């Protein structure tokens, strides 16, 4: 199932999205749902509108947390001059950093060095703690695309990454929440990132140092995961600078394309 959170009327709503690629004879539509997919309670309302009549939002706004796994592709660790850590390197991004497709990433005042990082994101679907490997598929609601924006200058100057990773707009998610993929399928997806149409990253989730299963097992040993929590699984090599006036697109096989423009904190910066 391809689920989106959309702007329609006064309140955001969830909808199942049907695209032309699913059935070439069917118009692209949004079929509205009641309830919240992260709560496991949704029903069709019977309302269906053309996709052009809604605006896509971030498919999930985490109630609790976004967790990022750093240096989880060996080639990316190398390009940043780092070793692959002996244990997963995990950081938090607040839910206030989350934005949706088409929304602008804002370079905050005081930072001059933003970087893009295209990633597969895992969305948790139930309360869980100390999840054994064989039960990981049961706690995953679905998958989406993320851009783990990082202020490299702040990352270098601060003793931790909260400011560098957690500023407002630093976690674009979307365009859809894909719920039908198995863990095995999600573990072999191409990731391609472009900036202004130029390819910057090309990788595959099979190249993760620690698999999706390993990440959830490890993280859930020390923190309770809640419905709607998001895990950013790491980025392939090729990350680089991006700034006001640029546009970044991340495509993951079967998940669509997440595109966001970049602007400065003032009109002068775009």
Instruction: Kindly give the confidence (pLDDT) of every residue in the chain, 270 residues in length, as a single tens digit, with 9 standing for 90 and above.
Output: 999 999 987 889 999 999 988 877 778 999 999 999 988 889 999 999 999 999 999 999 898 999 999 999 998 878 888 888 899 999 999 999 999 999 999 999 999 999 999 999 999 999 999 999 999 999 999 999 999 999 999 999 998 999 999 999 999 999 999 999 999 999 999 999 999 999 999 999 999 999 999 999 999 999 999 999 999 999 999 999 999 999 999 999 999 999 999 999 865 565
Sign of the alpha-carbon dihedral angle for 7, 10, 16, 21: negative
Question: For the structural domain made of 2-56, what CATH number should be given?
Answer: 2.30.30.370
As a whole number of angstroms, the distance between CA 95 and CA 66 comes to: 7
Residue 89: predicted pLDDT: 95
Contacting residues for 5 by C-beta, under 8 A, at least 6 apart? 12, 13, 14, 15, 56, 57, 58, 59, 60, 61, 100, 177
From-to residues of CATH 2.30.30.370 in the chain: 2-56
Is residue 242 a contact partner of residue 249, using CB atoms and an 8 Å limit?
Answer: no
Superfamily of 66-264 according to CATH = Fumarylacetoacetase-like, C-terminal domain (3.90.850.10)
pTM to 2 decimals?
0.96
* Centroid of chain to Cα 164: 17
Q: Which residues pair with 15 in a beta bridge?
A: 4, 32
What is residue 26's predicted lDDT score, i.e. its pLDDT?
77
- Taking the C-alpha atoms of residue 133 and residue 215, their distance in angstroms, rounded to an integer, is 10
16, 55, 110, 124, 150 from 162: Cα distances, Å: 34, 30, 15, 22, 10
Q: At 241, which helix (H) or strand (E)?
A: strand 240-242
**Per-residue confidence (pLDDT) for residue 266, from 0 to 100:** 62
Structure tokens at 134: 């064989």
**SS3 state of residue 178:** strand
- Cβ-based burial of 76 (10 A; exposed 0-12, middle 13-18, buried ≥19): buried
């Amino acid at each position: 199932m391809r689920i989106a959170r959309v702007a329609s009327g006064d309140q955001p709503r969830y909808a199942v999205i049907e695209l032309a690629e699913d059935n070439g004879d069917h118009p692209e539509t949004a079929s509205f749902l009641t309830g919240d997919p992260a709560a496991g309670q949704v029903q069709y309302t019977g309302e269906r509108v053309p996709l052009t009549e809604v605006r896509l939002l971030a498919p999930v706004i985490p109630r609790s947390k976004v967790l990022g796994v750093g240096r989880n592709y060996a080639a990316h660790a190398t390009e940043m001059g780092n070793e692959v850590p002996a244990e997963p390197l995990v950081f938090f991004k607040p839910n206030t950093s989350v934005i949706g497709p088409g929304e602008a990433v804002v370079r905050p005042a005081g930072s001059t060095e933003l970087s893009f990082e295209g990633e597969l994101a895992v969305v948790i679907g139930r309360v869980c703690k100390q999840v054994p490997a064989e039960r990981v598929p049961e706690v995953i609601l679905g998958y989406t695309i993320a851009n783990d924006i990082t202020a490299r200058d702040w990352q270098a100057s601060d003793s931790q990454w909260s400011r560098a990773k957690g500023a407002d707009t630093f976690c674009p998610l979307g365009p859809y929440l894909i719920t039908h993929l198995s863990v095995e399928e999600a573990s072999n997806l191409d990731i391609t990132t472009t900036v202004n149409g130029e390819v910057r990253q090309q990788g595959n989730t099979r190249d993760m140092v620690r698999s999706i299963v390993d990440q959830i097992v490890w993280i859930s040993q020390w923190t309770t995961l809640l419905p709607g929590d998001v895990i950013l699984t790491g980025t392939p090599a090729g990350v680089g600078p991006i700034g006001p006036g640029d546009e970044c697109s991340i495509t993951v096989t079967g998940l669509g394309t997440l595109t966001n423009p970049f602007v400065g904190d003032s009109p002068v910066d775009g």
